Amino acid sequence: MTNHLETALLASGPFAELREKIDLYGRFAGQWRIHACLQPEPGKFVEADGEIHFGWVLGGRVLQDVWNLPGFYYGTTLRIYDPAIDAWHILWNEPVRQYYTNMIGKADGADIVQLGKNKAGRDIRWRFSDITADAFRWTDEVRTDDGGWFLQEDLAVRRV
C-alpha cells in the first residue's frame, strides 16, 4: 500500500537552486543518537538517551527533524531557509508538553545559533557547536533575570 502522505512530504535531497544556503542545516540529514544532560532547575541534573532523525521535505526546500528523548520530549522542527533575511525560520513543535516556539537560525562562525522566545516569553538560545561530519553538540539556554544565560540542556549527538 502506498503512503500518499509520505510520498507528498519526503524529498530525496535539497532543492538544487538553494543548495549553498540550505547546507547549513542540510549536513545533518540522517539519523543521530543523543546523550543528554538536562538541568530543569539550577543544580538538578538528569541524563537521558534518545535520537534525532533529519530529512528533506516539501520539495527539498525544508529540513524536518524529529527529536525523541523518552520521558522528556518528542517533537519535530521545520527548518525553512528565507532568502529575504538570509536566515532560517525554525518552528519547533512538541505536542506532549504543548511547547511551540519560533526562532531565527543562522551561522555564527563555525556554529549555528537559533534565537527566539520560550512559552514564558524569555529569550532562548539554541546552539549547534563542535560540528563534524559525525557529531555535534547542541545546547539550550534561557536568559536569566541578571542578563546571563542558564544552560538547560547539553546534548552530545553522534551519527548512527
Q: What is the pLDDT of residue 55?
A: 97
Structural domain range at position 150? 4-159
Q: Give the start-end residues of each E strand in 83-145.
A: 87-94, 99-108, 111-117, 123-129, 135-143
Task: Output the pLDDT for position 2.
Answer: 74
- Mean pLDDT for the stretch of residues 109-119: 97
Predicted structure pTM score = 0.93
pLDDT classification of 20: cutoffs 50, 70, 90: confident
**Of residues 153 and 22, which shows the higher confidence score?**
153
pLDDT in tens, 75-99: 999 999 999 999 999 999 999 999 9
Residue 19's pLDDT is 78
- Listed in sequence order, the residues at least 6 apart from 98 whose beta carbon sits closer than 8 Å to its beta carbon are none
Tell me how far apart the alpha carbons of residues 25 and 30 are, in angstroms, rounded to a whole number.
11
pLDDT of 1 strictly over 80: no
Q: pLDDT value at position 106? A: 97
> Residue 58 corresponds to which cell in the numbers above?
516539501
Q: What is the pLDDT of residue 23?
A: 85
The number of folded domains in the chain is 1
Q: What is the pLDDT of residues 25-81, one digit of tens each?
A: 999 999 999 999 999 889 999 999 999 999 999 999 999 999 999 999 999 999 999
What one-character DSSP code corresponds to residue 82? E
Give me the pLDDT at residue 53, please.
98
Integer angstrom CA distances of residue 78 from 28, 41, 54, 62, 101 = 13, 28, 10, 7, 11
CATH of the domain at 103: 2.40.128.20
| Arithmetic mean of pLDDT over the chain | 95
Between residues 154 and 20, the one the model is more confident about: 154
